[in-house]
Amino acid sequence: MTHVQSICHAPSGSGTSARRLFAELPTLIDEWRRRARGRRELAALSDRCLRDIGLTRYDANREARKPFWRA
């Protein structure tokens, strides 16, 4: 059975999880946007500001390089 066939022939209870996914999607997208914005801002901080918050340039760059979907 192909992936498409398995989706089309999913058990009847799977509709609930699909509805839940779509209900939670706006919250998830907001979280992704928040992470992306925060990482851009972190990357733009000066070394002095990073020191003030207890981070190194290495730490900031490592966090800034993470994809938005990764916490």
Is the C-alpha dihedral spanning 46, 47, 49, 54 positive or negative? positive
Helix and strand counts by DSSP (H, E) for the chain = 4, 0
Domain extents in the chain: 29-71
pTM of full prediction above 0.75: no
Average pLDDT over residues 19-43: 95
Average pLDDT over residues 44-66: 97
Q: In this model, does residue 43 exceed pLDDT 60?
A: yes
Contact 64, 39 (CB under 8 A): yes
Residue 46's nearest CA partner among 36, 67, 60 is 60
User: Angle at CA 24, nearest 5°, toward 13 and 41?
Assistant: 150
- 64 confidence band (pLDDT: 50, 70, 90): very high
First and final C-alpha spacing in the chain: 34
